[in-house]
Amino acid sequence: MPEFSQETLPQAQAALSATLTQWQTGDVPDDAALPPSVAFGLSCALAECDARLPLAADYRKAPLCSGDPDELFALLQGMPGDKVAKIKVGLYEAVRDGMIVNVLLEALPDLTLRLDANRSWTRVKADGFARYVAPELRSRIAFLEEPCKTREESRAFARDTGIAIAWDESLREADFRVQAEPGVSAIIIKPTLVGSLARCEQLVREAHQAGLTAVVSSSIESSLGLTQLARIAQ
Ligand SMILES: [Mg+2]
């Protein structure tokens, strides 16, 4: 996926066709040597052959809101069960994001929010956001993905504001380790960018051992990819 994956489409195609040729001779592909998108797709296909992916899964998704509270409001009011929504923050003014989050949490007492800032804020901007979210509402932010440009700033933000954070971009950095940290509540696993099912399962295990929520997520997958992701999450 351009702008998400490290590998290009021709590189992925070449790796896939070489691996399939090898697989036809009876070899088990070495996931670790493959580009993540290929390792993910191929391991899903093999899991399909072995009937290892469940058909029954929760295909609902957390509705995504980019800034229009009225729209999200309408969507959520008809939603059965737990009301969870995701908002991309950091696209507009941080203060405005804070106001929207506050309004939504105040208006819908059973709403939980997942927020994603994609590392777009300086610490000052992140604080501008937090200032507008009433302290008593902050616990209903399940997590805010990567608020700041650096992990250190994000950790300090979580510590100082009481708003839980989640790691997403960090998972793809060489020095990242899954561990329990104050203020961190989840890791976001995007299998297309992470790699094989085995690698994803390992991350889920590490997350659970550290007391973290593991969220299986997508970038811009097709309906096929999204379906596989729902089944993996199950
Ligand atoms: Mg994210």
> Separation of 141 CA from ligand 1 center, angstroms?
15
Average pLDDT for the chain: 92
Instruction: Identify the three-state secondary structure at position 185.
Output: strand
> Separation of 166 CA from ligand 1 center, angstroms?
8
The C-alpha atoms of residue 79 and residue 82 are separated, in whole angstroms, by 8
> Separation of 70 CA from ligand 1 center, angstroms?
23
pLDDT higher for 125 or 222? 125
Which percentage of the chain shows pLDDT scores above 90? 73
pLDDT of residue 30: 84
Which percentage of the chain shows pLDDT scores above 70? 98
pLDDT of residue 66: 61
- On whether the CB atoms of residues 172 and 194 are closer than 8 A, the answer is yes
Query: Residues 217-233: pLDDT tens digits?
Result: 988 788 998 999 999 99
Query: Residues 73-116: pLDDT tens digits?
Result: 788 777 777 888 999 999 889 999 999 999 989 988 888 999 99
> Separation of 49 CA from ligand 1 center, angstroms?
31
Query: Residues 16-35: pLDDT tens digits?
Result: 999 999 999 988 878 888 99
Our answer to whether residue 190 is catalytic in this structure is: yes
> Separation of 169 CA from ligand 1 center, angstroms?
7
pTM of structure: 0.90
Per DSSP, the residues of 21-62 read HHHHTTPPP-GGGS-HHHHHHHHHHHHHHTT-S-S------P
- Averaged pLDDT, 197-217: 96
- Averaged pLDDT, 111-137: 96
pLDDT greater than 80 at residue 53: yes
Selecting among 83, 86, 125, 190, the annotated active-site residue is 190
Q: What per-residue string of b and e applies to 116-133 under the rule 16 or more CB within 10 Å gives b? A: bbebbbebebbbbbbebb
Selecting among 83, 86, 88, 125, the annotated active-site residue is 88
pLDDT of residue 141: 98
